[in-house]
Amino acid sequence: MKNAEIVLLKELLASPKKIVIIPHKNPDGDAMGSTLALGQYLTKTGHSATVITPNDYPKFLKWLPGDNQVVNFEFQNKKAKRLIKEAELIFTLDFNSLSRVGDMQHDLEKATAQFIMIDHHQQPDDYAVVTYSDVTVCATCQMVYHTFEMLDATHLVDADMATCLYTGIMTDTGSFRFRSTTATTHRVIANLIEKGADNAYIHQQIFDANSYERMQLLGTALTNLVKLEEYQTAYITLSQEELDKHNYQKGDTEGFVNYGLSLDGVVLALIFIENKQEGIVKISLRSKGDFSVNLMAREHFEGGGHTNAAGGKSDRSLQETVDYFISILPQYKEALNE
């Protein structure tokens, strides 16, 4: 964040304000961890702050401190619209385009509040008076911690805030194994543990609370795993019928795409998940090295993200989406085999 923006942010927060904090649609651990931690900080410093999610999120995130105060735009529409309309400041975290909030987009575009963006994805839109964008940082939660540093406020980080921030960094770095995990990241994590984040408990809550149905669904996903040796690529498909058979709950497929990426010799992995209610196929893309799934997602699947992790969608049928993906692979063959 530039010095002028730090000064402006301090000025905006100098007196109590009505503030709304928003993550992207289908929020993950980084989105929920960053918004909840920021909300607790703003409340602690005298503001009226509310986290509003565009829709529901996985059960394995609902133990996070502050979750009981979250307003769901999908289920609490009137309250959410009123809060957005009355807001003086709106923080958008872990996304950089208002198109990422689904049905909430129209209300945000009409809002009279000033916007503040904190995000680590590529190619941010220009809608905020303060934009803190850094694609080199592994997680928005780490950026929120750095924001506290810029505000000279790390002494206000308590165990609940530390728990939220630790969760987001852990999930967005694949438990600290991705290349984006830096020495600075580990220093931030050390500080969060000192503030009260219980790393073993957090890991257990996120990764060790699997249902029998989810394990059965994982078995189906692995059965559907296909490896394309020529392109060092692997993909998984899950149909709506397969999801329904195993009583799919939001978040159940989290991390499934990484099984494809873990195969020896695989550089690119995807999972294609049919969603008949929305009439789309949801796509998660992962890669190793310098192969950019962000570019692939933007070019072909109306999505984007990071170099090694991105998301997208397709309006085609599940089989047509897979066929289209296979048809574009030849243009990436050289890059995938470098």
Residue 198 lies in domain: 3-207
Last residue within a domain, chosen from 144, 177, 207: 207
Last residue within a domain, chosen from 207, 229, 250: 207
Are residue 20 and residue 142 in the same domain, yes or no? yes
Are residue 179 and residue 231 in the same domain, yes or no? no
**What pTM was computed for the model?**
0.90
CA separation for the pair 91, 19 (Å, rounded) = 8
pLDDT, tens digit only, all 338 positions of the chain: 889 999 999 999 999 999 999 999 999 999 999 999 999 999 999 999 999 999 999 999 999 999 999 999 999 999 999 999 999 999 999 999 999 999 999 999 999 999 999 999 988 999 999 999 999 999 999 999 999 999 999 999 999 999 999 999 999 998 998 888 999 999 999 999 999 999 999 999 999 878 999 999 999 999 999 999 999 999 999 999 999 999 999 999 999 999 999 999 999 999 999 999 999 999 999 999 999 999 999 999 999 888 999 999 999 999 999 999 999 999 999 999 98
Last residue within a domain, chosen from 172, 207, 242: 207
Instruction: State the CATH number of the domain containing residue 278.
Output: 3.10.310.30
Are residue 252 and residue 176 in the same domain, yes or no? no
CA torsion angle for 58, 63, 67, 72 (degrees, to 10)? Answer: 20
The total number of structural domains in the chain stands at 2
In three-state secondary structure terms, 177 is coil
Are residue 26 and residue 114 in the same domain, yes or no? yes
In three-state secondary structure terms, 251 is coil
